Amino acid sequence: MTARIDLDNLPALSLGCTVFAGGGGGDPRIGELMAMVAIRALGPVDVRPIDAFDDDDLVMPCGMIGAPTVMVEKIPNGAEGRVIRESYERHFGRPVAAVMPFEMGGINGVLPVAWAAYADLPLLDGDFMGRAFPELQMLTPHLYGMPGSPAVITDERLQTIVFTTRDNVWLEKLVRNSVAALGGSACGGLYPMTVGQARRPAIPGTVTRAIRMGEAILRSTDDPLAAIAEVAPLLRLGQGKVIDIERRTAGGFVRGSALVEGLGEDKGRLFRLEFQNENLVVIEDGEPLATVPDIITLLDIHTGHGIVTEMIRYGQRVEIVAFPAPEVWTSAEGLLAVGPRAFGYDFDFVPVADRVSGGARA
């Protein structure tokens, strides 16, 4: 079942990516504009399920790496996808057959569409996170012992750095360090592999799901949350107003926190949201209400649009929601890589569905 990304549904894809980003992946607006230019010039991009490819086909998982606060000001050149592709084709001695977003959230859900259009290649309908995460060992292939190397990064000057490391934690350290030296963000390819190798780690259908999500929000007239819940079950954690936001950009990440004061039926409650590129935890009364790997998203209360961490502003009216984590992340190995303790918190993951009494209110 091949879908297509064209000028009509690109805004829906972009919007869907703000919902599944968990606050990260970078604001998709620039990626959407780049994909728009590419599609206008070269036509729509086919989105194919993994089963539509041959086992031997070479997949290029790609996206931006770095601090979202930087990405919105340090605009890509447009040719980064070509440079990454050429680097992999030289390395593997054969052509790339499919472009794939390594994370399906924020700008990284739409920028690969531009690169696929320029390369006249299909986009694989899936990703390696089922959301967005900040570090390079936080991709599903890592759980199966697959190497992120060779990883390629390139900047808007089209300089390239190719890393072959001992393990994926070293890869994260060395790539992050170079991304910081390149100004805080860069484009990159990670975990190159064949379709046969990608079958196990790939989380299927996440591209078309983001399109469906965006379309549902755009269609909804009065209750965007209900429209969102129809596409993906969600849990409402509370609604309120952003009364404080603190962010710092350093070492290739943006870290910070926001305070949300309850409004309406949540009046009197106070939520603290903490993030490292992506939203990590929501804390209420000193206790975690929701944590990674569940997907914590701030939604604009009026439009239902997801608010990525670098776009959180004082005074925004938000609904704090969570989507249950992709199943792969709630295994013991998954939690070791992306559970709260992987981010330095001294508590274990408890699924948000078990914590929020009454379950989904939407």
| Residue 179 beta carbon to its own copies: minimum distance, rounded to whole angstroms | 10
- Give the three-class secondary structure for 308: coil
- By the rule CB under 8 A, 338 interacts with its own copies: no
- By the rule CB under 8 A, 160 interacts with its own copies: yes
- By the rule CB under 8 A, 303 interacts with its own copies: no
Find the binding residues for its own copies in span 117-136 (CB under 8 A): none
Q: Contact at 8 Å (CB) between 238 and 256?
A: no
- By the rule CB under 8 A, 161 interacts with its own copies: yes
Q: Contact at 8 Å (CB) between 101 and 121?
A: no
Q: Contact at 8 Å (CB) between 86 and 118?
A: no
Residue 313: name the closest of 298, 303, 302 by CA.
298
Please, what is the angle between helix 10-20 and helix 206-219, to 10°? 100
- By the rule CB under 8 A, 159 interacts with its own copies: yes
| Residue 67 beta carbon to its own copies: minimum distance, rounded to whole angstroms | 16
Residues in Cβ contact with 347 at an 8 Å cutoff, skipping those fewer than 6 apart: 288, 291, 340, 341
The helix (H) or strand (E) run that includes residue 179 is: helix 168-181
Report how far residue 145's alpha carbon sits from residue 139's, in angstroms, rounded to the nearest whole number. 11
Candidates 160-168, 221-229, 254-262, 317-325 — which segment interacts with its own copies by CB under 8 A?
160-168
Residues in Cβ contact with 223 at an 8 Å cutoff, skipping those fewer than 6 apart: none
Q: Contact at 8 Å (CB) between 35 and 114?
A: yes
Candidates 127-135, 162-170, 272-280, 324-332 — which segment interacts with its own copies by CB under 8 A?
162-170
| Residue 157 beta carbon to its own copies: minimum distance, rounded to whole angstroms | 5
Candidates 37-45, 153-161, 251-259, 305-313 — which segment interacts with its own copies by CB under 8 A?
153-161
Query: Exactly one of 42, 72, 79, 162 binds its own copies (CB under 8 A); which one?
Result: 162
Query: Exactly one of 2, 51, 75, 177 binds its own copies (CB under 8 A); which one?
Result: 177
- By the rule CB under 8 A, 182 interacts with its own copies: yes
Query: What are the beta bridge partners of residue 152?
Result: 162, 189
- By the rule CB under 8 A, 163 interacts with its own copies: yes
| Residue 160 beta carbon to its own copies: minimum distance, rounded to whole angstroms | 5
- By the rule CB under 8 A, 157 interacts with its own copies: yes
- By the rule CB under 8 A, 170 interacts with its own copies: yes
Cβ proximity to its own copies: between 14 and 178 the closer is 178
- By the rule CB under 8 A, 165 interacts with its own copies: yes
| Residue 174 beta carbon to its own copies: minimum distance, rounded to whole angstroms | 6
DSSP type of residue 174: H
> What stretches of 58-153 show up as alpha helix (H) in DSSP?
68-71, 80-92, 111-119, 140-143
Q: Contact at 8 Å (CB) between 279 and 318?
A: no
Please, what is the angle between helix 80-92 and helix 111-119, to 10°? 60
| Residue 176 beta carbon to its own copies: minimum distance, rounded to whole angstroms | 9
Q: How many residues bind its own copies (CB under 8 A)?
A: 18
List of residues contacting its own copies (CB under 8 A): 157-166, 170, 173-174, 177-178, 180-182
